[in-house]
Amino acid sequence: MEAHVVSNLVVALLLAGAAALAIGVRRNDLWRASAVELARRRPIALGVVGVYLAVALLDSVSWVGGGDAGAGGNALDLHRPRSLIDRAFPLDLDEKSYSAPLASVEFYGGAPLDHPGRHLLGTDILGRDVLHLTLEGTRVALLVGGFTSLIVIPLALLVGVSAGYFGRRIDDVAFFVMSTLASIPNLLLLIALIMAMGRGAVQVCVAMGVTSWVGFCRIVRGETLKLRELDYVQAARALGVSEPRLIWRHILPNLMHLVVITFVLLFSGLVLFEAILSYLGIGIDGSWGQMIDQARDELARDPIIWWNLAAASSALFALILAVNFVGDAVRDVLDPRTLRERQ
């Protein structure tokens, strides 16, 4: 199946999942109260995150055809799948080289542009529109955070709950694997994994998943150990509830707040990490990290090119800041320890 069809299907699945989640939250009083409290505390940060999500989603829905290649455009572009974000920009918007924001001439040399005043954030060395590139980077950033979390959370839940609940041999093995992974410095392990697997978006996400599930797994294991001894679990067991059902109905729901907290706190770290990987040459194509990395040489030019760096790093900064603020609020709302302090 072609890549853009897969991406469209994933978007549909994600939207369906989000709808199911929203219904689930609405039906449960505790979760609904937490969601309302969160929205009350951090309306702006949530709004910012929502904008990023919307851009990434719009950039993930793509199809072939439509549009007009224009006078200076490449007719081949018409046969390439283009997303909704791509379609907001004309196909022949590219210039020859650098141009400043809203400029009407090229930055070096001063040759007239094909589209004077149309580049809100200027163009990069290949003449591509920086605003367009920055918007496309959103999808990469959310992919890094989201896809990696989709690896980390199920893996950590599976290993953590079985180690904590069944104990003995399973616990020993899980504990050994965790301490082995944890004893390798994070960045080195990540580099080793990517070097062995080869470069690419999926590889980077998998490698980040492998390096970051251990911390969460330890928390899950500890919490499960505590939960399985609680009276209500013992009572359920005495009533003859089967073990899979016991885990599913009585243990897992009590771990969900940890899942949400971890997800939000993990997310910003992952996106920031990708920027470092981009500098090391093992990042993901089209990410903000790559734009920032490219800008290193541009600051050494005279006069300097600043709009590329400014666009990518402010997009990154705003997303991370918003997620960090939301993350703090999520922890305050959901963590029972801080709940007690508040009352």
Partner 1 sequence: MFAFVVRRAAYGFLTLLGVLLLLFALFFLYASPHEMARRAVGEKAPPEVLEQWIANHGYDKPKLWNPEHPLDTLLVDHFRRTLSFDFGRSDADGTPITQRLREGMGPSLALAIPSFVLGLLFSVALGLFVAYFRETYIDRMGVVLCVLTMSISTLLYIIGGQFLLGKLLRWFPISGFDASPSVIVRFLMLPLLVSLADGVGGSVRFYRTVFIEEGSRDYVRTARAKGCGDLRVMTHHVLRNALIPILTRVVVAIPFLFTGSLLLESFFGIPGLGSMTVDAIHGNDFATLRAMVFIGSLLFIGAQIATDVSYTLVDPRVRLE
Tokens of 117: 């005043």
Least Å from the CB of residue 292 to partner 1: 5
Dihedral (CA of 199, 205, 210, 215) sign: positive
Nearest CB to partner 1, comparing residues 225 and 272: 272
Contact call for residues 62 and 87 (beta carbons, < 8 A): no
DSSP string, 192-240: HHHHHH-SSHHHHHHHHHHHHHHHHHHHHHHHHHHHHTSHHHHHHHHTT
Q: How far is residue 124's CA from residue 210's CA, in Å, rounded to a whole number?
A: 35
8-state DSSP, 75? G
Least Å from the CB of residue 276 to partner 1: 6
Nearest CB to partner 1, comparing residues 221 and 250: 221
Q: How far is residue 166's CA from residue 85's CA, in Å, rounded to a whole number?
A: 49
Strand pairing partners for 99?
A: 123
Q: How far is residue 310's CA from residue 291's CA, in Å, rounded to a whole number?
A: 10
Strand pairing partners for 165?
A: none
Least Å from the CB of residue 305 to partner 1: 12
Determine the distance from the C-alpha atom of residue 285 to the mean position of all C-alpha atoms in its chain, rounded to a whole number: 15
Identify the CA nearest to 163 among candidates 155, 154, 174, 152: 174
Nearest CB to partner 1, comparing residues 189 and 201: 189
Neighbours of 315 (CB within 10 A): 20
Nearest CB to partner 1, comparing residues 245 and 301: 301
Nearest CB to partner 1, comparing residues 243 and 297: 297
Least Å from the CB of residue 52 to partner 1: 14
Least Å from the CB of residue 334 to partner 1: 17
Tokens of 295: 């800008």
Contact call for residues 117 and 40 (beta carbons, < 8 A): no
Least Å from the CB of residue 185 to partner 1: 4
Neighbours of 263 (CB within 10 A): 18
Nearest CB to partner 1, comparing residues 166 and 306: 306
Nearest CB to partner 1, comparing residues 98 and 165: 98
Least Å from the CB of residue 303 to partner 1: 12
Tokens of 38: 């969160």
Least Å from the CB of residue 183 to partner 1: 5
Contact call for residues 21 and 263 (beta carbons, < 8 A): no
Nearest CB to partner 1, comparing residues 166 and 175: 175
Would you tell me which residues interact with partner 1 (CB under 8 A)?
176-177, 179-181, 183-185, 187-189, 191-193, 195-198, 268, 272, 275-276, 278-282, 289, 292-293, 295-296, 299-300, 304, 309, 313, 316-317, 320-321, 324-325, 328
Nearest CB to partner 1, comparing residues 79 and 169: 169
Work out the angle between the directed axes of helices 307-334 and 256-280 (0-180°, nearest 10).
Answer: 160
SS3 5: helix
Least Å from the CB of residue 164 to partner 1: 20
